[in-house]
């Protein structure tokens, strides 16, 4: 006499665990914004206060150099 087939056991896969919410980034891990490359002194033009660094930047960025020779302090008066 034949044996009855074994009962089929249906195993349901376990549901995947919910992904954990990302940990909040510590405040000091946020990269600091780069320091400003220069100052505008109330104009629309960004001025480096060092011609040598301006020259290096111009070479690197394939730009020309704009140099202003002024009387007095640029911060106080713009002779343009």
Partner 1 sequence: MNALANVEAGKYLNDNFVSSYQKVGTFTVNGAQKQGGNVASYFCTPEGRVLHAIAGPVNADALLREARWVVETSKLAELDGLTTDTKLRAFWRKAHSDRLAQEHQMDLKLTRRSLRGGPHPQLDSRGRVHLLLATAALPKLEQVYRLVFEKILNEKVSTAPVVRIGG
Token pair of 66, please? 């704009």
Cα–Cα distance, 61 to 29 (Å, whole number): 30
Contact 79, 71 (CB under 8 A): yes
Query: For partner 1, which is the closer residue by CB, 25 or 73?
Result: 73
Binders of partner 1 among 12-71, rule CB under 8 A?
A: 38, 42-51, 53-59, 61, 63-71
Query: For partner 1, which is the closer residue by CB, 27 or 79?
Result: 79
- 1 binds partner 1 per the rule CB under 8 A: no
Instruction: Quote the distance between the C-alpha of residue 17 and its chain's center.
Output: 33
Q: Give the 3-state secondary structure of residue 39.
A: strand
- Closest approach of partner 1 to the CB of residue 36, in Å: 13
Binding site for partner 1 (CB under 8 A): 38, 42-51, 53-59, 61, 63-74, 76-80
């Amino acid at each position: 006499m034949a044996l009855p087939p074994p009962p089929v056991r249906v195993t349901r896969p376990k549901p995947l665990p919910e992904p954990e919410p990302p940990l909040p980034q510590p405040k000091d891990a946020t990269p600091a914004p780069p320091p400003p490359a220069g100052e505008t002194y109330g104009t629309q033009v960004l001025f480096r206060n060092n011609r040598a660094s301006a020259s290096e930047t111009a070479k690197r960025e394939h730009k020309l150099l704009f140099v202003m020779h002024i009387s007095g302090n640029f911060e106080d008066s713009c002779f343009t």
